A and B are shown apart, each in its own frame.
Chain A
Amino acid sequence: MKQEGHVAGGGRRVRLSERGVERVLTAVALSAIGVLALITVFIFIGGIPAIARTGFWPFVSGHKWAPGRDVFGIFPMIMGSLWVTVGALAIGVPLSLACAIFLSEVAPPRTARVIKPAIELLAGIPSVIYGFMGLVILVPLIRNRFGGPGFSVLASSVVLGIMILPTVISISYDALKAVPDAYRDGSLALGATRWQTISMVLLPAARSGILAAVILGMGRAIGETMAVIMVAGNATKVPGSLLDPVRTLTSNIALEMGYAAGMHRAALFGTGVILFVIIMLLSVLASYTTSARGKAR
């Protein structure tokens, strides 16, 4: 009897400390959400006045951005962000996929062991360095080859396309590596070539991981500011071609926040609100497509 009581007492102590750990972890997790909530509230409070005064539709579809005259239309910046992001994905994703496939399926393991860390090193380079390289190499090159000012959608897309490589490559590489070898053997044993195996079995099996990689790359491209400011030209005009200068939502905020006041400042927060909403929509869309595809399997 005595012994039993002792055991029960120990159990209670364990349960208490268990519950303590649980509470601490819950608090930490909630505070992360709290930070997100605070940022959201802060941005919305800052931005709503400008959007309300201009009107939501004129704000997002207005072509004119003239803070001096209190005219705030951010359509050019929305289009700017869209163009450079799509451009970056068009350049970065095929390269990344090819590279991930090479590393995971084609390269001898020893080669992959050297190349993979080298690619991950790319992620450690500060974005201003990418911007600088773009500024001194890419911009003049585009100006001389294709005409225009050189500061352009094209320059931004190339710089961003390179910047998203490490993210997209390493996540899609991990996704491909996670495909069981049994699938490779099973496919090859039916007389599939290596490429047929990659395209018909491995890529579909890894698709949710690859999609996640693309989405993270897209997030990086939309959010990148410094490198884009340096090569984009930053004109507040909807770009008519790849060679036109462009200003993104993030650049808009970074370029003007330093001296903005009053309604101008609120309009920059409003830009942040729109950016925030776009990113939320994208991530919802992304998780929806992944789970829908997951079910289809």
Chain B
Amino acid sequence: MATDGPPKLAASELNYYYGDLQALRDVSLEVQNNDLLTIMGPTGSGKTTLLRAINRLNDLLPRTRMTGRVTLDGLDLYDPGADPAEVRRRIGMVFALPIPLPMSVYDNVAYGPRLHGVTRKSQLDETVEKGLRDAILWDEVKDRLADSALRLSGGQQQRLSIARVLAVEPEVILLDEPTSGLDPISTLRIEELLKQLRERYTIVLVTHNPQQAARVGDRVAFFYLGELVEFGPSQRVFTRPRDRRTEDYISGRFG
């Protein structure tokens, strides 16, 4: 569980615009090391935008504008000297729809390490196995590593996406509604996996499902229309929400 200290990851006074549309309004948020933060909120509340701003994945989008700071270990990720590719390696991301790259299971997991210069077969083998084991997928795919990743089931594809992220040894993992396209059993598997992973990683999980936030998060942040409405330990937010909108949301009155 998180202790107070310098935050691992912090956003301060973040504003984000797509053209004229403001997607984030003055968002300030801190995540401690090895904390699992869940971000919940209805569609269009800026959750995904926040994740994509944190790992600079929105850099390439035309006509967007950002103000404010995002820091990892106190270092500004948008510093002119910061390399966006390195930022994205340190801050891995798992998307809502599982997206295996159009290659084999093995190559999917080996893709990241290869990018970062690992070429020795034995070392790649080891990394791939470890990634798949950590993502609790190894036993299901160890005999079909050469198969196209597109043939795996949805839940397996999503765990493969996680294995792929783990293989580049990130410090922070962002997950954008990773279970939104999955059945309840696959969802449960992913949640179990997250509970294991938080021992070693700092995790930010975006979900549109307040129950999921309650189940897995140490802390929870509630976003509404680009604004951070409430932020605190899950226990407290779910039992004694301070804001009316949070209460309405978690009791299912909208969302």
- Residues of A whose CB lies within 8 Å of any CB of B are 108-109, 180, 182-183, 185-194, 196, 200-201, 204-205, 297
Contact = CB atoms under 8 A, between A and B. Distances in A.
B238 interface: no
Top 9 nearest A-B pairs (CB, nearest first) are: A191-B89, A182-B99, A189-B93, A190-B112, A186-B99, A191-B88, A193-B85, A192-B115, A205-B102
A281 to B, nearest CB: 30
Contacts of B62: 108-109
A200 B111 contact: yes
Most buried by B among A190, A194, A196: A190
Contact of A187 (B92, B101, B116): B101
B148 interface: yes
Nearest to B112: A190
Interface string B161-202: 100110010000000000000000000000000000000000
A105 to B, nearest CB: 9
**B interface bracket (residues with beta carbon within 8 Å of A):** 20 to 34
B99 A185 contact: yes
Interface in B7-63: 55, 57, 60, 62
Given A109-B62, A191-B168, A186 B86 contact: no
Contact of B95 (A109, A182, A191): A182
A186 B161 contact: yes
B103 interface: yes
B28 to A, nearest CB: 24
Contacts of B102: 183, 201, 204-205, 297
Nearest to B86: A191
B92 A190 contact: yes
A188 B55 CA distance: 10
Interface string B60-71: 101000000000
B95 A200 contact: no
A251 to B, nearest CB: 42
B216 interface: no
